Structure formats: C-alpha cells, structure tokens
C-alpha cells in the first residue's frame, strides 16, 4: 500500500509564536488542511489527523491508486496555495497569526510498504516499520520548506507527469538506515498568484465569519493543537 503524509511546514513556529492569537492560528491550519482533504477522494483513506498534517493510506486493491496519486499530489499543492491566497485576501485582522498565513508551506511525504491494522479505544490504527519510516521522513535533511519527497518504492510505482522534475537523494536514520528518495520542488508562486487587496466589505464579511468560528475555542469547547509526535512509533 501507499502511505502518504501531507504536512504543513512552519506549523510549530507559527502556532507557538502566536499564543495570543491561537484561535485564529488554528482556524488557518484547519482551512489549509481542509483544502488538501477536498482533493483526496477515493481511494485515499484517512488514517489519522495529526494536528498540522493528514496521514493517508491507499490500499493496493484500490483500482488505479498510482494514477490517482499522480493526479492528486500536484492538486494538493495547488489547492493549498489557492486556500492560502484566499485567506490572505480576506484578512482584516492584524493579529500575528493572520498576518503570517503566507509563511506556511506544504510538504508531502510518500512511501510504499505494509502496515498492520489494529483497533485501539474504538479507533483503527496503523503500525509497523513502514508507518514509522514515513513519519520519520517528515524530519529530514531537505532545506526547502515545500516539496514532495517520495521514497524509491513509491516513486517507481507512480507515473508522475513528465513536467514534474525530480532529484535523487537519500536520507539516513540510525535505526532505519539509508532511505533512497526522489524530491520534487513545486515552482515558486508567480506574481499572478500573489494575494491582492480585496474590498473592505469583503474582508469585513470574512472577518465576521472568522469571529463566529473562533467562539468554540474562546469558550473552551474546542482545544487548540499545540504539539504532536511525528515519530510514528506506537506508545
């Protein structure tokens, strides 16, 4: 099966640096992850929502899973960017979270292997060496903050569009060893995609919606996600 993590880069610095505006920071993260989820229809299965990331798996018995990945992954980046631009254009708030939405980026980790399914506390969980590997790869040596990292087994099974250029590389971990990878770096955002200043009425309307959506956080009915463990190891 294919194992995939769509992870927002800069989340830790973003949400810890904006403790005075945590509710707005969490809304931005929710909206950006939601833009990725919208592009991940069948045969994608959600294994877990992990704060600033989504962990997917695609079973081998799924028809056309390789072709679906080749189409969906570029769409993840495009959808993330479109939502980011929408949030920036509709912003009227001057809090430190809302003014730094543009600083966030998306990285996608794709691996191929096996996983053990088990039930814990009413939830279905995945475990095994390959689950640990895909999570461990979120901590890597890549200097960019936006990229697709595909391990060799995954890259060989997915026919990405020829326009997507990849660079070979490798990651090393004491407990896993050498992991051959292929890296793709999306093109920088062109000027046409830069946020434009929208009317005051438009931004005021979006701000009112934002205020209503933050009420559950303000009154303690929902909690802001501050930390998470990306190791993938089972407790």
Mean pLDDT, residues 206-229: 68
Per residue, what are the HEC states of 54-67? Answer: EEEEECCCCCCHHH
Q: Which fold has domain 2-188+200-218?
A: Alpha-Beta Plaits (3.30.70)
Average pLDDT of the residues of the chain: 84
Confidence category of residue 15, pLDDT binned at 50, 70, 90: low
Mean pLDDT, residues 41-68: 86
Alpha helices in 100-230 (DSSP H): 129-136, 152-155, 200-218
Instruction: Fill in the DSSP letter of residue 3.
Output: E
pLDDT on residue 7:
94
Cα–Cα distance list, 208 to 26, 70, 204, 214 (Å): 16, 38, 6, 10
Tokens of 172: 């090393």
With a CB cutoff of 8 Å and minimum separation 6, the contacts of 234 are 125, 127
pLDDT on residue 229:
45
The residues spanned by each domain of the chain are 2-188+200-218
pTM: predicted TM-score of the whole model, two decimal places: 0.84
Asked if residue 190 has pLDDT above 90, the reply is no
More reliable by pLDDT, 43 or 202: 43
Which helix or strand (DSSP H or E) is residue 22 part of? helix 22-37
Tokens of 82: 């479109």
Strands 2-9, 53-58: pairing is antiparallel
CA 103, CA 212: separation in Å to the nearest integer? 25
Spatial contact of 12 and 35, defined as CB atoms under 8 Å apart? no
Alpha helices in 38-176 (DSSP H): 65-89, 129-136, 152-155
Asked if residue 180 has pLDDT above 50, the reply is yes
Instruction: Fill in the DSSP letter of residue 146.
Output: S
Q: In the chain, what percentage of residues exceed pLDDT 70?
A: 83
Mean pLDDT, residues 107-124: 88
pLDDT on residue 191:
55
Q: Please state the separation of Cα 122 from the chain's center in Å.
A: 25
């Amino acid at each position: 099966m294919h194992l995939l993590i769509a992870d927002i880069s800069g989340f830790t610095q973003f949400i810890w640096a904006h403790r005075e505006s945590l509710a707005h920071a969490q809304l931005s993260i929710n909206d950006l992850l939601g833009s990725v989820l919208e592009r991940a229809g069948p045969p994608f299965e959600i294994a877990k929502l992990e704060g600033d990331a989504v962990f997917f798996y695609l079973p081998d018995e799924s028809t056309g899973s390789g072709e679906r990945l080749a189409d969906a992954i570029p769409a993840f980046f495009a959808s993330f960017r479109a939502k980011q631009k929408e949030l920036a254009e509709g912003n009227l708030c001057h809090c430190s979270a809302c003014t730094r939405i543009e600083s966030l980026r998306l990285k996608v980790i794709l691996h191929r292997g096996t996983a053990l399914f088990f039930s814990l506390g009413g939830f279905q969980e995945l475990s095994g060496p390959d689950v640990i590997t895909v999570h461990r790869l979120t901590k890597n040596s890549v200097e960019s903050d936006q990229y697709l990292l595909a391990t060799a087994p995954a890259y060989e099974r997915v026919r990405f569009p020829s326009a997507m250029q990849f660079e070979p590389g490798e990651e090393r971990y004491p407990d896993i060893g050498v992991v051959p990878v292929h890296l793709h770096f999306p093109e920088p955002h062109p000027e046409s995609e830069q946020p434009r200043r929208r009317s005051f009425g438009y931004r005021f309307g979006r701000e009112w919606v934002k205020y209503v959506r933050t009420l559950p956080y303000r009154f303690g009915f929902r909690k802001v996600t501050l930390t998470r463990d990306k190791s993938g190891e089972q407790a």
